[in-house]
């Protein structure tokens, strides 16, 4: 009998802080495809897979954490949640709060979020405020709001978010049969690299579960973690906060990551690195994914692939390894980037008359 994926909380209940009486708020998130990337694999001589997180219910990995955060909010009796967002957190919080029947307030940087993400939050009825400031300013206000008013914070500083997001590492291991040798991903507020590292570690160690007692180790190893920030927003690489972060990759336009320390721990414990990639490298990776691998992502999502291409060009990528790259959000979130060439000019579809000869000519076909 076909098995329908039941969302990350039900699939991994033994490894999450939920009990039998918990009312689970879920849109069926997780269970996303781990897609073999033939072109990247051929280039590097390693087996490269893409964890395609754009396939989550609201189109980004944020849903994994949000199912846990909204479930925890409801369990605590909250009637309203708040988040700061570069876009995807607000889209996700708004959707899950709607299912829970609670209010959702979102603070976004003025003019800096894509139309796809903005429309999701509005469609789901969030109270959306455009704040005259950047993401870091929004998070600061959201935190203070949750400390002084009756609203529950659902940003990734909330540990429930990290718990939910660690399930992506479980899925990778469950699919491959062991942890990969390398895991690459974009780094913004650094919640996701923190969560993957937690998940990989829990699968490599025996795990004491609140509901199931001791669970045996699932994998034999943990991967080397490679995280990539955008060059104009690379505080961890620079070693200090960036007051005016700048990049076309809006989902990682963050100058002072909330999980900075944890990201460094993931890097250091795994023997990995956190590096930066330029907007040009991000857009080249974005184009590589859509034109060579058949996977359409939003620009920020391509940062991990940009990092692989950069390090391959520098001769730092080993052959015959297994590598997983998380591509974090769907291309339809922010589709404008597909409609311009590498040199920045607009791409216009060719117009034709409706007769077969004109269409054949336009396609460069000759008759049989």
- Which residues sit at the interface with ligand PLP, rule CB under 6 A? 60, 62, 88, 156, 186-192, 251-252, 298, 300-301, 328-329
Query: Considering the complex, what minimum distance in angstroms separates the CB of residue 16 from ligand PLP?
Result: 18
Residue 267 Cβ vs ligand PLP, minimum distance, rounded to whole Å: 13
Nearer Cβ to ligand PLP (13/32): 32
Q: For residues 228 and 233, give the distance between their C-alpha atoms in angstroms, rounded to a whole number.
A: 10
Q: Which is nearer to ligand PLP, 167 or 301 (CB)?
A: 301
Alpha-carbon gap, residue 195 to 294, rounded angstroms: 27
Considering the complex, what minimum distance in angstroms separates the CB of residue 154 from ligand PLP?
Answer: 13
Compute the least distance from the CB of residue 29 to ligand PLP, in Å. 14
CA distances from 169 to 147, 195, 205, 260, 359 (A): 32, 8, 14, 20, 47
Q: How far apart are CA 197 and CA 203, in angstroms?
A: 10
Nearer to ligand PLP, 188 or 307 (CB): 188
* Torsion sign across C-alpha atoms 6, 12, 16, 19: positive
- Please say which residue, 11 or 63, places its beta carbon nearer to ligand PLP: 63
- Ranked by CB distance to ligand PLP, the top (closest) residue is 329
DSSP letters for 49-88: EEEEGGGSTTSBTHHHHHHHHHHHHHHTT-SEEEEE-SSH
Minimum separation from the CB atom of position 69 to ligand PLP (A): 13
State phi, psi for 203 to the nearest 5 degrees. Answer: -75, -25
**Could you give the 3-state DSSP secondary structure of residue 296?**
coil
Give the span between the Cα atoms of 27 and 42, in whole angstroms. 36
Considering beta carbons, is residue 26 or 301 the nearer one to ligand PLP?
301
Which is nearer to ligand PLP, 13 or 156 (by Cβ)? 156
Phi, psi dihedrals of residue 22, rounded to the nearest 5°: -65, 130
324 DSSP assignment: E
* Contact (CB, 8 A) for 272 and 293: no
> What are the tokens at 213?
């007692």
Rounded to a whole number of angstroms, the minimum distance from the CB of residue 340 to ligand PLP is 20
CB atoms within 10 A of CB 331: 22
Q: Tokens in use for 105?
A: 């307030």
Question: What are the structure tokens assigned to 365, written together?
Answer: 């076909």
Q: Which is nearer to ligand PLP, 218 or 306 (CB)?
A: 306
Residue closer to ligand PLP by CB (options 218, 249) is 249
- In whole angstroms, the minimum distance from the beta carbon of 186 to ligand PLP comes to 4
Q: Least separation, in Å, of the C-beta of 115 and ligand PLP?
A: 15
């Amino acid at each position: 009998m076909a098995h329908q994926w039941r969302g990350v909380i039900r699939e991994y209940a033994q490894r999450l802080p939920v009990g039998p009486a918990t009312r689970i708020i879920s849109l069926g998130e997780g269970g996303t495809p781990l897609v073999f990337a033939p072109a990247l694999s051929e280039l590097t001589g390693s087996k490269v897979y893409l964890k395609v997180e754009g396939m989550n219910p609201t189109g980004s990995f944020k849903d994994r954490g949000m199912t846990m955060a909204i479930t925890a909010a409801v369990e605590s009796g909250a009637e309203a949640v708040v988040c700061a967002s570069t876009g995807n957190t607000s889209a996700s919080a708004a959707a899950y709060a709607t299912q829970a029947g609670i209010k959702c307030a979102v603070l976004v940087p003025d003019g800096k979020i894509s139309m796809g993400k903005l429309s999701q939050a509005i469609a789901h009825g969030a109270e959306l405020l455009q704040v005259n400031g950047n993401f870091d300013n929004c998070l600061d206000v959201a935190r203070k709001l949750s400390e002084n008013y009756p609203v529950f914070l659902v940003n990734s500083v909330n540990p429930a978010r990290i718990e939910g997001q660690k399930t992506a590492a479980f899925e990778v291991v469950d699919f491959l049969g062991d942890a990969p040798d390398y895991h690459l991903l974009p780094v913004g507020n650094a919640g996701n690299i923190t969560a993957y590292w937690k998940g990989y570690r829990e699968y490599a160690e025996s795990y004491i579960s609140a509901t199931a007692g001791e669970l045996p180790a699932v994998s034999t190893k943990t991967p080397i973690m490679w995280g990539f920030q955008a060059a104009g927003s690379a505080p961890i690489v620079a070693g200090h906060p960036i007051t005016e972060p700048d990049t076309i990759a809006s989902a990682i336009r963050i100058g002072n990551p909330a999980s900075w320390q944890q990201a460094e721990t993931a890097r250091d414990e795994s023997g990995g690195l956190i590096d930066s990639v330029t907007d040009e490298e991000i857009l080249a990776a974005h184009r590589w994914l859509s034109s060579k691998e058949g996977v359409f992502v939003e620009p920020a999502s391509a940062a991990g692939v940009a990092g692989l291409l950069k390090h391959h060009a520098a001769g730092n990528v080993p052959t015959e390894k297994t590598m997983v790259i998380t591509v974090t959000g769907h291309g339809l979130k922010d589709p404008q980037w597909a409609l311009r060439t590498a040199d920045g000019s607009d791409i216009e579809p060719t117009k034709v008359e409706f007769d077969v000869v004109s269409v054949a000519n336009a396609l460069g076909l000759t008759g049989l």
